[in-house]
Chains A and B, each alone.
Chain A
Amino acid sequence: MSTYAIIPQEQWVDELVDRFPDAPLVQNYRVLVFADAEAAQLKDDYAERGIVELSSSSEIIKHINSGLKPWVILQVEPLRKLMQHFNPPLVEGE
């Protein structure tokens, strides 16, 4: 299992693009993927950014739509719903 953080695009560009070069883009946010063991350290290192932990995909969608700056720490299930909400799967067919 991994843990995820959603952070504003500008912070990713300024500080974390080298460490997380392939962070997926969701609206104006980037998704960071890190090992569970890194979660506590990451929250300590970036506490000044403001960090909220959300488990509801609807809450996270609201957070993103509102353009809020605090980082969101979340797990994979709400992340999948979030990704599908903002990046709808392509429709292919004959």
Chain B
Amino acid sequence: MYLNKKDLILKESSKYLNLFDLGESYTLKSVIEYVARLDGATQYWQLSEPITIPSNVDYEIGFYASRALNDTNLLYIFGYSGGNNQDQHRLALSSGSPQMAYGMGFASKEFNFNGNGQFLLTHSGTSKVTYIEFNTYTDAFNDQTITIDRLMGPWLGVDSGYLNGYVRDFYVKVGGVEVLRIPLTNKSQGATQLATVGNIDATMINYTGDEWGPLP
């Protein structure tokens, strides 16, 4: 869209920006950020292959998440669909309590996951713990090797634990180097969202195309 500069005044961050001062002419692009909201009943993101992080390396896992329903059921943000319940690695959220589970031992603490925000899991040094942060919440969990191949979905073949809402901008850093980033925000890519870093993609199971909406 080509516009006359005299016509443009944009409101940005509660102050007015007069584009007349920015140059002779310019192209105004409409940038709408989308996010896919999953139904919490049948849909989840399946990675094209698992990503495994050994416990003896520094790592960081980050993503934004939103939970639309504040029900009391156990919901999974990420996990591994293979193996058995002895070696599942999962970040689960129940009625106000996160449960960062490794093997058969895990810790939990009162935790309010309403609305949305960024989750950050970090593991560094020799402390052998993983710190999890979400808004004002922070806690530490004993850790082992992490394997992730599923976001927002059930595990162990049990059709429960679907997260109603979204996960976006999922990334993994190992040794300070970003090895995987999947934005999960590219509406034009449809069901299979391509990684912008790394070679692991995410496919939405039971995708219809109705899931996309503007990012708030």
Contacts and interface: CB of A to CB of B under 8 A. Distances in A.
B108 A93 contact: yes
Contacts of B41: 4, 24, 31, 76, 79-80, 83
B39 A94 contact: no
Interface residues of A, number: 28
A91 B74 contact: yes
Interface size class of B (residues with CB under 8 A): 20 to 34
Contacts, number: 73
In terms of DSSP, what is the predominant structure of the interface of chain B? Answer: loop
Contacts of B101: 92
A89 B210 contact: no
A51 interface: no
A35 B209 contact: yes
A11 interface: no
Contacts of B99: 92-93
Nearest to B213: A1
A79 B42 CA distance: 9
Interface of A: 1-2, 4, 20, 22-26, 31, 33-36, 38, 76, 79-80, 83-84, 87-94
